[in-house]
Amino acid sequence: MQFTASDFEIFQARFQGDADWNGRRLDIRHRLQAFGEVFVEGMHTLGLAMDRRESLHHPQASNGKRVRRQRTMIFRDKKSRKVLQSFLGKDLGKDLNSAVNNVHFQLGLDDRGAYWGMRLDPGAWYDLNVLLKRAEEEPGRQEIVESCAKADGFQLEIDRGGARPLSTMTTRDWRDLAGTVRPGESGLNIIQRMSAEAVAAAGEDFGQGVCTDLLRLTPIYRLSCWSTDSPSGVSW
Query: Which whole-number Å values give the CA distances from 20 to 10, 14, 187, in the listed order?
Result: 11, 12, 34
Domain range 5-224, CATH class: alpha beta
pLDDT digits 0-9 by tens, 162-215: 899 999 999 999 999 999 999 999 999 999 999 999 999 999 999 999 999 999
List the one residue out of 135, 141, 71, 79 whose CA is nearest residue 105. 71
List the one residue out of 126, 33, 48, 133 whose CA is nearest residue 88. 126
Mean pLDDT to the nearest integer, 78-82: 93
The answer to whether the predicted template modeling score (pTM) of the entire model surpasses 0.85 is yes
pLDDT digits 0-9 by tens, 85-130: 888 887 777 788 889 999 999 999 999 999 999 999 999 999 999 9
pLDDT band at 233 (very low <50, low <70, confident <90, very high): low
User: How many Å apart are CA 108 and CA 189, to the nearest integer?
Assistant: 13
139: preceding bond cis by omega (within 30 degrees):
yes
pLDDT digits 0-9 by tens, 147-163: 999 999 999 999 977 89
Which long-range contacts (C-beta less than 8 Å, at least 24 apart) are formed by 11-14?
11/67, 11/68, 11/69, 11/70, 11/109, 11/110, 11/111, 12/111, 13/111
Mean pLDDT to the nearest integer, 38-57: 95
Mean pLDDT to the nearest integer, 6-27: 92
Mean pLDDT to the nearest integer, 4-16: 92
- Residue-level pLDDT at 235: 42
Regarding beta strands 188-195 and 164-165, do their DSSP bridges make them parallel or antiparallel, or are they unpaired? unpaired
pLDDT digits 0-9 by tens, 27-46: 999 999 999 999 999 999 99
User: How many Å apart are CA 98 and CA 232, to the nearest integer?
Assistant: 21
Residue 146: pLDDT over 80? yes
Q: Determine contact, residues 115/105, Cβ cutoff 8 Å.
A: no
- Residue-level pLDDT at 228: 86
Name the percent of the chain lying above pLDDT 90: 81
Residue 236: pLDDT over 50? no
